[in-house]
Structure 1
């Protein structure tokens, strides 16, 4: 019994060790246009329609659903100058969210086989399908809309996401029919034998009593080919469409969506407003509804600056797109209308612009594509002027945040890794992981508890160390290095030590204020460098300009790289109806650890196929085709494997867990 208890305790300790080492999920923002004025009235007057209504739609706010090919939007968010709207307060009914059902084309376009259009409703920046095509009250989230090809063997499951899957059960001996089965969380839902010899080759799964609605199409599958070989029986699928019917919902007039709580449903249109006043609190993200916020700058009472944003936490890769441009006219993007570009809301600082000029048809002439960026100064997140934490120079470069090694020159740059005002408490002997292989370690605390010896490392190798006193001076350690791309005295790390403590058990240093650049991967930009299609580089002091030496064609229905991970997405239209936008991509989480939501994959279920090899598919589906986002302001937080300011100690917990585990092993052996 003692042995069982000891082993149980050991198991719990192991779980504790691993749980304490877990890290939090990442998140990103989708940012709308930036609005700036003395108060809400002046902003509505400046940016609104006739000084009465300020409206944001999908062409400006990338979180909202947008189909670039058909130029279809469903959602809008308005601020109205109603009674009670003044200062930083929006009056009752002044926030109006509206969405209307629209018809959009399937990704797999095949009208002859019944794949033409379906009804869709954007709902707080997510794609939903109305269960009744002309009513906005009953909705199910769109899981999948794909024209990729997938080849599955008999016995294999094609994982569609959210617990849904289809399995190829059998192929007939003539290789003309396949028996497919549809499941949810492993439970049978429906099955069908599809013939590729006649008919549409499409299987529609219709279910009854989905939120009270019958004959609801929840899945569409188009079988392209069937093959019966000597070794393998195979079905090739091209065309998949799926809704999350198991989690469908009905919206009632008395429903509340956070701060939007006055619901009106008028056939295909859903409108929700605020029944109470809404305050745009400064230096805060003010929740509107369903993960959508007004993010407001930290300004004085006589100034107001904000944007609408959607926070995304689901793992996957997302597009951050700019405002949609139409026609052959000139167009300019900056941080106010392209959320991918670097922007500091509090200081109202932007550095990047992208200009298109002189388009002839769909061809941008030589020099007509102009990207430029200029060094600006921004506040540290740890804003403490008395401790010499005032401002630092920054340069946005292709939607990434860089630090110039020389504050007056834009040619030598290092990526910013960390700018944080969070508090971190580390014990002596513990390391604080700063990201990208950089770390600091508290080596020792003096006996009087007034000094701490810190060491800075890169990939485990010593870089520098310092003894910081909290009894005098600004308590800040600046690590300066020489010969970084030929520059000397380059500050690569700043650490502010808030407090030091020498106790009977623990020796502790509390850090508040961290700033770090990736000096090991710094770069020098030369005049003959090329960045994708941008290959004419000019450096003029603090400004970097890059243009195209060759013509640039905006090919219809394509994604054309501009440079350094920045693209134009062009609609599938005639040249006379040219429509396009720029975008960059951002990733949440480690995509190598799992399949992003909404991406089908094949899973072997037969004993003969139970190997370590993953069956091959011919393509993948991006989680959000038109999704677009921006990194959360203030940038990357360190991976804190030590003690946060709340007193909890993941790093120390690991040590205690291992010590306890060894003790238990000793007791077990002793009892034996």
Structure 2
């Protein structure tokens, strides 16, 4: 065999081996693990994880001190609570690998968020536009995904569609349509540079919901636009905010700059009630501030380091083999985990068995959230005029990681074949 061909085949084999080691788009990749505990060294009330000790939970880093506070803590917690005093998990019975019904509690509490518009513009309780209804809104993490609470009530949850961060802006000219996500869009009907005004409409699935003319040169109250509707158990609830920062003229077109846009999906409200079941947990307590659930079925752990003991659709307990990693031959190591889903932007077929918390097309993103899908809306003629695109949101806020897939193989093969043909000729 020609020496050049041999070298080509050898290089191709190496390239294919490397590619096959990469995660396949749409399939589980690396896992996110929680803090491990040794059953022979942990008391029964010591098996507890929060957002700082389990990456599957939603974790806004700027609110760290409140998320880990011993009292009045915010966010999510998972805790083992022994109910009968027999065969409890922990140091008194290190070999026990059964979590009884109702012994695994999942708790979540809402937390306050100041509107970016309020923070950036230095507004106070006496200077905010009355349309905002206050300086803060509240969010609640629900199985790893952040929602906005309707009427600041933890039992009423709305999906976040979009939140423009402090440094984000959207530049649009007359006729542009901004895809906000979940069927919502903002259309710029006309920009009046001389009058410092812009006329735009908010629509969902092509149906106009709101329309307004905003003056871009004046007080905050003039520059802000809000929309309310009846949804959940409330009336006249705020669901949309945007702020027209400025208007300007280029050589050919007139543009408007939008900032601090905030939108929740008023048509998709989750109402949580006692007795409801979610992902293997039953709601046992609802209040304005938070929700408590317990496992509705007994969880028997398979003490095999390669086995995943699922207790929700996407979270599972991983353990060591019996006696391995523990200071006792009967004990074992246990920690919660969840798999990272590899996102293929070019995929056109939905991935089977994907869950809302690990959605491969997650729109979730805020400066406080780890996972994000930065989708840019079509905006012809505005290239180079935007510092940052706004971030459509959903919730994953879930864990979605973009990693290379098999698409790289064809590129490597093509390069190798070209090199081989050149040597052969």
Aligned residues: 326
Matched-pair contact (CA < 8 Å) for 2:35–2:54 = no
Say if 1:152 and 1:602, in contact at 8 Å, map to a contact too. no
In 2: Cα distance, 1:180 partner to 1:274 partner: 48
1:277-316 superposed matches below 5 A:
277-282=298-303, 283-299=306-322, 302-313=330-341, 315=343
- Gapped runs of 5+ residues in structure 2? 1-23, 68-74, 90-95, 324-328, 346-359, 364-370, 410-425
User: 2:55 aligned with 1:62, yes or no?
Assistant: yes
Whether contact under 8 Å (1:64, 1:126) holds in the other structure is yes
Give the 3 Å change call, closer, same or farther, for CA 298–178 of structure 1 in structure 2.
Answer: farther
Conserved in 2, the CA contact under 8 Å of 1:160 and 1:598? no
Pairing partner for 2:108 from 80, 99, 102: 99
- Is the 8 Å Cα contact of residues 261 and 275 (structure 1) preserved in structure 2? yes
**1:219 has 2:219 as partner:** no
| TM-aligned CA distance change 1:601 to 1:24, over 3 Å | closer
Q: Deviations over 1:293-331 (max 9, x none)?
A: 2233455693433321234548499xxxxxxxxxxxxxx
Q: CA RMSD in A?
A: 3.7
Aligned 8 A contact 1:31 1:309 in 2: yes
Q: Secondary structure at 2:267's aligned position in 1?
A: helix
Separation in 1 of the partners of 2:341 and 2:374?
Answer: 17
1:615 deviates by: 7.5
- Find the residue that maps to 1:25 and give its secondary structure: coil
Residue 206 of structure 2 is matched in structure 1 by: 186
Aligned to 1:132: 151
Cα 1:190–1:637 shift into 2, 3 Å: closer
In structure 2, distance between residues paired with 1:25 and 1:152: 34
Indicate the structure with greater strand content. 1
Q: Is the 8 A contact 1:93 1:274 kept in 2?
A: yes
Q: Is the 8 A contact 2:25 2:343 kept in 1?
A: no
Aligned to 1:88: 97
Q: How big is each residue's C-alpha offset from its partner over 1:61-114, in whole Å with a ceiling of 9 and x where there is no partner?
A: 233233322434311111123325341111222111111111123345334256
Structure 1 residues 120 and 91: CA distance shift in structure 2, 3 A: same
Question: Within 5 A, what are the aligned runs for 1:271-282?
Answer: 271-282=292-303
1:163 aligns with one of 183, 187, 194: 183
Gap change, CA 1:257 and 1:628, over 3 Å in 2: closer
1:349-368 matches, within 5 Å, as: none
Contact 2:109-2:290 at 8 Å conserved across structures: yes
User: Counterpart in 2 of 1:267?
Assistant: 288
Following the alignment from structure 2 to structure 1, what is the Cα–Cα distance between the partners of residues 203 and 41? 52
In 2, Cα distance between equivalents of 1:215 and 1:598: 31
Rg larger in 1 or in 2?
Answer: 1
- 3-state SS of 2:377 partner: strand
Q: Distance in 2 between matches of 1:614 and 1:315?
A: 27
Cα 1:66–1:106, aligned 2, differ >3 Å: closer, same or farther?
farther
CA shift in 2, pair 1:218/1:314, >3 Å:
farther
Change (3 A) 1:227 1:63: same
**1:122–1:128 CA contact under 8 A, matched in 2:** yes
Q: For residues 204 and 303 of structure 1, what CA distance do their matches in structure 2 show?
A: 58
**Does the CA contact (< 8 Å) of 1:150 and 1:237 recur in 2?**
yes
Higher helix share: 2
Asked whether the 8 Å contact 1:29–1:630 carries over to 2, the reply is: no
| Structure 1 residues 631 and 619: alpha-carbon distance in aligned structure 2, compared to 1, 3 A threshold | closer
Alignment of 1:252 with 2:27, yes or no, is no
The one of the two structures with greater contact order (alpha-carbon pairs below 8 A, sep at least 6) is: 2
User: Do structure 1's residue 52 and structure 2's residue 19 form an aligned pair?
Assistant: no
111 and 95 in structure 1: CA distance in 2 versus 1, 3 angstrom threshold: farther
- Whether contact under 8 Å (2:144, 2:396) holds in the other structure is no
Contact map agreement 2:228 2:236 (CA 8 A) in 1: yes
With structure 2 as the length reference, what TM-score do the two structures score?
Answer: 0.66
Determine helix, strand or coil for the equivalent of 1:215.
Answer: strand
- Number of the residue aligned with 1:151: 171
Q: Distance in 2 between matches of 1:61 and 1:629?
A: 12
Measured against aligned partners, the alpha-carbon deviations of 1:436-461 in whole angstroms (never above 9, x if no partner) come to xxxxxxxxxxxxxxxxxxxxxxxxxx
Structure 1 stretch displaced more, 252-261 or 282-291: 282-291
1:421 aligns with: none
Tell me the CA shift for residue 153 of structure 1.
Answer: 0.9
TM-score between both structures, scaled by the size of structure 1: 0.43
Preserved contact between residue 30 and residue 63 of structure 1 (Cα < 8 Å): no
Give the match for residue 18 of structure 1: none
User: SS of the residue aligned with 2:234?
Assistant: coil
Aligned residue in 2 for 1:602: 377
